[in-house]
Amino acid sequence: MKQYLLAVHYVEGAPAMSDEETQHMFRETERINQEMVKTGTWVFGGGLLPPESSTVVRTGQGGTTMTDGPFAETREHLAGFWVIRCADLDEALAWAEQCSRACGPIEVRPFDELSQG
């Protein structure tokens, strides 16, 4: 079985969700999480705090620097993720479709098979 990363994207400037929409997203995400656990697909997952809570660590010839905020200047940021175990890409895309209905754009990326031990 291959492992895939399903990355949830937060789009900066998108209209803010209402409290009701946010609660619906949380309920749907938890439902999907439980379904993944039940089917043996779930490996790991979690939500992330906003990009401004990040710290970027860089090392170079002059030493190490630490900078507040996201690394990339972009309108989209990683908001959360799942690591799932699937037979193939089609199965991972089917899960991503469910996840996208719950919480927006989802990027699907396979793990390098060498890193899966």
Tell me the mean pLDDT per 10 residues along the chain, length 117.
Answer: 89 84 93 96 92 87 86 76 96 96 92 73
Structural domain boundaries of the chain? 2-12+19-51+68-111
pLDDT, residue 72, reads 67
Amino acid identity, position 86 = C
pLDDT, residue 4, reads 93
pLDDT, residue 13, reads 79
pLDDT, residue 115, reads 64
pLDDT, residue 42, reads 96
pLDDT, residue 117, reads 56
For residue 12, give the 3-state DSSP assignment.
coil
pLDDT, residue 94, reads 97
What is the pTM (predicted TM-score) of this model?
0.81
The CATH number given to 2-12+19-51+68-111 is 3.30.70.1060
